[in-house]
Structure formats: C-alpha cells, structure tokens
Amino acid sequence: MRKPQLEPMSGAPDRVTIYEVGARDGLQNEKSLVPVEVKAEFVRRLLGAGLETVEITSFVSPRWVPQLADAAELVSSLGELALGTHRPVLVPNEKGLDRALDLGVSSVAIFGSATETFAARNLSSTVLDQFTMFEPVAKRAKDDGLWLRAYVSMCFGDPWEGDVPVDQVADVCRRMMDLGADQLSLGDTIGVATPGHVGRLLEALDARGIATDQIAVHFHDTYGQALANALEAIRLGVRTIDASAGGLGGCPYARSATGNLATEDLVWALHGMGVETGVDLERLVATSVWMSEQLGRPSPSRVVKALSGE
C-alpha cells in the first residue's frame, strides 16, 4: 500500500497521540443498531492497527442514545481489552459512573457544553447546572484514582446560537478543568472551526492557566477544515488529537454534525511529516473498509478511498 513520501517538517513533534473516537462518536449517530459483536470486533481491529487510546462507548441514558444501550455488554465482551487508562467511556452523571465502575472501567469522560442550547438539547441541563451534575462524578472518579477527561462541545460555533464568544468557551473550559480533569478536549461539534480560531481559543485557555499539554482537540469535518485545524493545534503545541477511523461520526443532538476528522487522513499527514503515531495505516484502512461494509456505505475519508481503491 502506498505511503506518503517522508519529508520531515521543521518544528514538528516526534510523536502525536491519537485519541480514537470511532467506536463511540463514530457509532453513536448510526440510525440502525450495530450488533454488539460488530462493535467489539471494531475495537479489537482498532487496537490491532496500533491505536493506543480507544474510547469504547458511553454510559448515557439508553433513551437518549439507543445505539449505545449495549455499553455494559460491549465492555464485558471485550474484557481486559476495554479496561485501563487508555480505554475511556463517557459518563454524564453518577448513574453512568456507577454502571462504568461496576465493570472495572478506570478512565471516564464527562462532556459539557459551552452553549445553553446544546446543554439543554444534549444534557437536558443549563450551562450552570451541568457543573452540578458533573461535580460528584468528577470527585468520585478522582477519589477512586480514575483518569478523567472533560469534553467541551460547541467551542467554535453552535448550530442554533451561531458564533460562540471565545471568552465564553474559555470560561466553561476553566470550570470543567476545576472539577479535576486530567485532560480537556475542545469539541468543534459541527465542524466550523478555522485555524486562526483554534489559535485564539488556545491563547484564551493559556490566559486562564490551562496548559497546552492538558489539551486535546476534537474536530468534526463538516466544512473540510478538520485536518488543517488539527495541524495548527499541533503547531501550537497540542499533542493529543481526537480522530475517528474512516471519518465516522456525528452527534445525535447537534444538527449538522458530521463525521470526525478521519484517523487515516491525520495519520497520512503526520507520517509524511515524520511524526510517529504508532498506527499501522494499512491495517487501519482495512479496518475502516471492513466497518464500512458492516454499515453498508463507503467511508467519507479521502485517504481510505484513495488507498482502498489502489
């Protein structure tokens, strides 16, 4: 399989961590239920392709996200493979945390909103009340020695509210980090961010004492900007990039949210620049081709299309 020509880029880091969200963000929006065995096989193949950090599923209300109602079954069927610091699951509330802890999960993610409309639509909450919901989850997670990620959605724009002020986003990020999170993931839920905007938000976070090494970026690719934004974040010091194999993804509660940055597109760019990811691109493309067969439609990733059509 073709590889990018290696031309190291000055100033690029030696290594970037890919935080793979295909099994969670990628599948949560699928209309028809994906069998739990297919999800388990997807996770196994992602791990087999060298991805170290793989988000497994969400322990959310099954009424809100029916696709992930099988979260416990999935974690149980994967056994040890689904456990450990590098296998986070989403938990919005204590009920979700209890369900995850019962299975031995040791890495969880809470997910807040920078805007009122999305807080209402995604969490049935307000921006202020979401912190009250997360507080006991974060406290118990940290007391139990769990690794804790805090997502913030609508960091770069909101489908109902339009532009979202950078200071408003940065304030929500600060409050999420004050809950004790180990990592903050900046969600461009509807894929509208541009590179200058990424820089502005990172500056605002720096001014609030959030170090770049605590930050991950999570770009959806609606406007085709995800890779450009990810590379800009890396140039500015971010070392963890969220991506989804084959570019699967979307949020059932955000109109116009399409797939995430495709992991293959990111890996192609990084390997060409001489940045290590630990990923075997050939095995990853084969995984996405297999997954697109399961879902009955081709992957939107340009790199998957190019390499699988060779």
Angle, helices 195-207 vs 166-178, to 10°: value is 50
* Residues 3 to 42 in contact with Mg ion, rule: CB under 5 A: 25
| For ligand HMG, the closer CB: 220 or 305 | 220
The label of the residue with tokens 């073709």 reads 2
| For Mg ion, the closer CB: 25 or 158 | 25
CB of 72 to ligand HMG, least distance (A): 10
Q: 201: which residues sit within 8 A by CB, 6+ positions away?
A: 155, 156, 166, 169, 170, 186
| For ligand HMG, the closer CB: 22 or 92 | 92
Q: Are 30 and 38 in contact (CB under 8 A)?
A: no
Using DSSP, how many helices (H) and how many strands (E) does the chain show?
12, 9
Q: Is 158 in the site for Mg ion (CB under 5 A)?
A: no
Output the six-digit token pair for 175. 């409050």
Quick one: what does residue 113 bind among ligand HMG, Mg ion, none, with the CB cut-off 5 to 8 Å set by partner type?
none
Give the footprint of ligand HMG on this chain (CB under 6 A): 25, 28, 58-65, 90, 92-93, 95-96, 99, 111, 122-124, 151, 153, 187, 189, 218, 220, 251, 253
Q: Where are the beta strands (DSSP E) in 67-203?
A: 89-90, 107-113, 147-153, 183-188
CB of 96 to ligand HMG, least distance (A): 3
Quick one: what does residue 151 bind among ligand HMG, Mg ion, none, with the CB cut-off 5 to 8 Å set by partner type?
ligand HMG
Quick one: what does residue 96 bind among Mg ion, ligand HMG, none, with the CB cut-off 5 to 8 Å set by partner type?
ligand HMG
* Phi-psi category of residue 26: left, alpha or beta, with phi > 0 → left and psi -120 to 50 → alpha: alpha
CB of 121 to ligand HMG, least distance (A): 9
| For Mg ion, the closer CB: 153 or 288 | 153
By beta carbon distance, the residue nearest ligand HMG is 187
Q: Where are the beta strands (DSSP E) in the chain?
A: 17-20, 53-54, 57-58, 89-90, 107-113, 147-153, 183-188, 215-219, 240-243
Task: Note if 251 is an active site residue.
Answer: yes
91, 110, 201, 251: the catalytic one is: 251
CB of 227 to ligand HMG, least distance (A): 16
- The closest alpha carbon to 19, from 91, 88, 78, 92, belongs to 88
Quick one: what does residue 60 bind among ligand HMG, Mg ion, none, with the CB cut-off 5 to 8 Å set by partner type?
ligand HMG
CB of 179 to ligand HMG, least distance (A): 16
| For Mg ion, the closer CB: 107 or 185 | 185
Q: Which helix (H) or strand (E) holds 217?
A: strand 215-219
By beta carbon distance, the residue nearest Mg ion is 25
* Phi-psi category of residue 153: left, alpha or beta, with phi > 0 → left and psi -120 to 50 → alpha: beta
Q: Is 232 in the site for Mg ion (CB under 5 A)?
A: no
* Residues 77 to 96 in contact with Mg ion, rule: CB under 5 A: none
CB of 189 to Mg ion, least distance (A): 6
CB-facing half-sphere around the CA of 191: CA atoms within 13 A: 22
Helix (H/G/I), strand (E/B), else coil: 62: coil
Q: What radius of gyration do the chain's Cα atoms show?
A: 18
Cα dihedral 2/282/237/167 (nearest 10): 110
| For ligand HMG, the closer CB: 63 or 297 | 63
- The residue ranges that bind Mg ion (CB under 5 A) are 25
Active site residues: 251
